[in-house]
Amino acid sequence: MGADQHIQWHEAAASALLWWQDAGVDTLVEDELRDWFAAPIPTRAPAAVASTPAADLPPDTLDAFLAWRMGDAAPEAGWNGERLTVAQTKNPALMILTDLPEADDSAETGWMTGPVGVLLDRMLAAIGLDRGAVTIAGVAQARPLAGRVPDEAQATLDDLARRLVTLVAPRRLLLFGAEPCRALLGPDGQRGGLRTLHHDGIDCPAIATFHPRFLLERPLAKAESWRHLQLLTRETTT
């Protein structure tokens, strides 16, 4: 129980710090008086976080890429979170790209489990598919304690997500949420419009829609998400 309490406290502290950062609070009030006329104490600049350059990415084979993503050179290697691999499927009928694993996901259960997974299965059934015909992956393959991707890793992870989609070469691509939409469609990518992804020799119809996580909180958005699914399947089966 002691270890569990420590992990819960660590997650709560990390979440609280990110909340204050997002709220714009970057200065703490000190309890002791400060001599504002004293000479400043020299500080050491923080080490820069380098993103993975394209030249250091693994070879253009799916097996090599997935093995590299589970190795020590991947951005998630130092996150202290379990990494989920991707089923080695080539040219699936549909590829789903999410942001990161759910809290209950694991190597044993796979991607998008729990209530999110139940809703996903219903969505797939509505368009005549099941998980056996779908490849599910994330922009990040592990879940940080704070439950969000660190800003300094975002650019590298976006590059890796594009590389993964290119190697998988799906016949259709469904993007869940803002992070996959930005990674694959660029900063101007928007939810709802059907796009054809042209990247490194593939031409793949793609659409961004609400994450099932959001749909569980806002059920009224399910109608719009259903229209997105219909648009993707109708335009790619005619």
Specify the pLDDT at position 201: 74
Q: Are 65 and 164 in contact (CB under 8 A)?
A: yes
Specify the pLDDT at position 142: 94
Give the predicted TM-score (pTM) of the model.
Answer: 0.73
Q: Are 92 and 135 in contact (CB under 8 A)?
A: yes
Nearest to 147 by CA among 109, 179, 121, 188: 179
Q: What is the pLDDT along the chain (238 residues), one digit of tens a residue?
A: 444 444 454 554 455 455 445 444 454 444 444 454 455 544 443 333 333 344 355 567 899 999 999 999 999 998 988 999 998 788 999 999 999 999 999 999 999 999 999 999 999 999 999 998 999 999 999 998 888 888 899 999 999 999 999 999 999 999 999 999 999 998 877 888 888 888 777 789 999 999 999 999 999 999 999 999 999 987 555 4
| Strand partners for 173 | 95, 206
Specify the pLDDT at position 124: 95
Q: Which residue has the tokens 């796009």?
A: 195
Question: C-alpha dihedral over 48, 51, 54, 59, to 10 degrees?
Answer: 120
